[in-house]
Chains A and B, each alone.
Chain A
Amino acid sequence: MSTPVRKPDRVDVCIIGAGATGATAAKVLTEAGRRVVALEKGPWRTKETFGGDELANVNRYNLWPDPAQNPRTVRTTADEQAREELFCPVPQMVGGGTVHWQGWLPRFTPEDFRLRSIAGEVPGTTLVDWPISYDDLEPYYTKVEWAFGVSGQAGANAYEGPRSRDYPCPPMPQSRYAEKFHKGCANLGWNSFPTPQAALSRPFNGRPATVVSAFAQQHGDPSGTRSSALNVFIPDAVATGRYDLRPESYVRELVLDGRGRVRAAIYVDADGNTVEQEADVFVLAGGAIESARLLLMSQSGRFPNGLANGSDLVGRNVTFHEYSASVGTFADPINAWAGGGYVSASSFEFYNHDASRGFVSGGHIAAAGVGIPLPINWHLPGRPTWGAEAKKVDRELFNHSMAVAMVLHDMPQHDNRVDLDPDVTDAWGFPVARITLKTHDNDLTQGRFLVDRCGDILEAAGAATVDKVYPTRVTGNCSHQHGTTRMGTDPETSVLDANCRAHEVDNLFVVDGGPLPTATGANPTLTMMANAWRVADHLIAGT
């Protein structure tokens, strides 16, 4: 290890990562008087650096991590050679994934927290109940919804748990694709609701209403009006004067003191210097893949297989969701690019477990554009990509197509894991994350069922054609990642306790998707932020 050239002053808390959950924890901790240093691998970009440029943002890694600098490797089983792939990427910058998202923010249901009890044992999986309940998290759902700014309709989701407060803003305006979705669901007798969104349908809390651009999903927000960590929680933390946010600070190792607690984070700054940051408490918020990677890179005499990994569970039980859809075309215009294709309507009709369906659990179904429904990246599955016929499809269907998509709840499995690739390094020379991932039969059965229901909605809405894209494996295309440091009550079967403190290291916490013991079938960021807030509250109460 190279000798640190700088050792800044010790602080109360060092948070590694300044994305959705790192920013949440920073806001809560700094507002409670704690001095926080945040170490973020990526840059701190301002809204002025974002634009309506599909080529740069979707195709040229302006926001996505560039695989030439940040490769990952993937294999199906441990006896295969892993191949390089841009697997489950999330923007690495201040604000993280919230910089370029459309922010669908449904709550998990009460059943999500006790699925093992409801569904029973599922062979080949490590399905468990959570160590916390919906009721434990409910106050924090409300806090995030109100502090962050979420637009939605309380009570509209018939399967949602009890809520203590409405949404702060009414739903976003109804897109044409949302209108079709509601119509299809109504004709089938299924519940549908406006997708709760990280955006403001009206001015709120001193912020203007969100600009409804086409360049939204996978684009940064030049107007600064969307609800993102970058636009909301980072400024909240900065305003306290106690938040020292250091971008382009790549943490490569956590080192211990003589008592086995984390003493310092060792990081490489923008100039390539090695810096050592000490703190009383360390909070990991780099995303489930990167946080597991950092723990595994932090090897010591006490933890030869990685920090807090005496159980060999760090990186295991990883889940990713999978996004797939049925795609429909309509005679009347849909304009799915309006609002970027993700100002949507949703249904939890097939979300909670129902044993009569023949598989475990279910997923969130929602209206959307086809893929990224902008000119370059729109493409109807199964249609030619070049020649006269392809041009005809572009001309006739670009404005007349939409998807009904689903979030697949993939099952946790012991052998599905993140570890360090022995051969491949990133542009900094550090070993990259290697993903070992085998898709469970339940995932495929559930995926087929949900995509069929997506198709039912399109047909009931009057689609002229419906094409179904069944998921054939989990490809990491959601950017969602969970489970690599699962929380639980038993150190034999979990990495963290119920308050997301490492069983083996009492000043180490993880607040990203890593603690989530199961993926559930819904977009996870609201729950991750609510959990980060809960953990931060626990830290404040205990220190």
Chain B
Amino acid sequence: MTEPTQTATFFDQHQRATVEAAMARVIPTDDLPGARQAGTVDFVDRYLSGIDYIYAKPDGSGFESLSGRSAAAWQRRVELARQKYTDGVRELDRLAQALAGEDFADLAETQQDQILTELEQGVENGPELAKPEVPYGIEPALQQTNAESELDFFPLLVTHTRQGFLSDPIYGGNRDRIGWQVIGFPGPASLAEVHSGQYTTLDYFADDPRHPQRQGQPGQEDRS
């Protein structure tokens, strides 16, 4: 397979600027970098480009080539997401024009936040943008993740922003591991470090690696 490049994209220039601006409100820049610096728009642009970047090879040497039923399933999923982004950008601009007579990307951040909040709360009842039954779509997710194809545009945007900020840099976002640094995840140096079995988290375990031995409990007999 091909090496990751920045050439595979889906958005036109305006769509890209709009999505980048919206993502910058989902994970804003404060005294630490945000979505803009991490390149989350590159992540989603690559995802929407087709099915050549769905699964990184586990050693980080490129991407898997999909075929058969898996390829068909991902092609449908990507096409669905493309439609949501295309419609979503149009809706952001429509709301922005109604609010301030400008496109979304040209608004002040507070105005952008206002529009995103409207979208989140489903104040506008556009057919593609009805309020989801499950707010944000990603809660409580205490054990299993949700199927993104069930998400409407705004929760999908939030989900992809988070994925682009915090997934392995091979997927085009989390540039220079910015996202991991922001939240304090030391992470492995690379996919290859995990793949080779070198990566361990034991340094982050309790100072005393032994579980407490309670009175009356037999110790472990050593049979080795």
Contacts and interface: CB of A to CB of B under 8 A. Distances in A.
Interface in B174-224: 179-180, 182-185, 187-188, 191, 193-197, 199-202, 204-206, 208-212, 214, 217-218, 220-221, 223-224
Contact of B217 (A153, A178, A381): A153
A186 interface: yes
The binding surface of chain A is classed by DSSP as loop
A371 B57 CA distance: 25
Interface string A174-215: 111011001000100001011000000010100000011111
B33 to A, nearest CB: 10
Contacts of A186: 212
Q: Is the interface of B mostly helix, strand, loop or mixed?
A: loop
A254 interface: no
B99 to A, nearest CB: 18
B73 A427 contact: yes
Contacts of A323: 142-143
A385 B55 contact: no
Interface residues of B, number: 78
B141 A398 contact: no
A466 to B, nearest CB: 15
B62 interface: no
A68 B54 CA distance: 15
A166 B223 contact: yes
Interface stretch (A17-25, A333-341, A350-358): A333-341
A202 B56 contact: no
Contacts of B26: 386-387, 390
B122 interface: no
Nearest to A219: B194
B140 interface: yes
B28 A388 contact: yes
B147 interface: yes
A477 B194 contact: no
A68 B168 contact: no
A287 interface: no
Nearest to B54: A60
Contact of A155 (B34, B168, B200, B218): B218
A55 B205 contact: no
Contacts of A97: none
B211 A386 contact: no
B169 to A, nearest CB: 11
B27 A391 contact: yes
13 contacts: A50-B195, A51-B195, A52-B58, A170-B220, A173-B206, A176-B204, A213-B201, A371-B143, A375-B166, A377-B141, A377-B145, A388-B28, A399-B185
Given A52-B188, A56-B56, A224-B197, 8 more contacts: A55-B168, A60-B55, A166-B221, A175-B205, A213-B201, A335-B205, A375-B187, A376-B167
| Shortest Cβ-Cβ A-B pairs, 10 listed | A51-B58, A52-B194, A223-B197, A375-B166, A68-B73, A338-B204, A338-B201, A55-B167, A173-B209, A335-B204
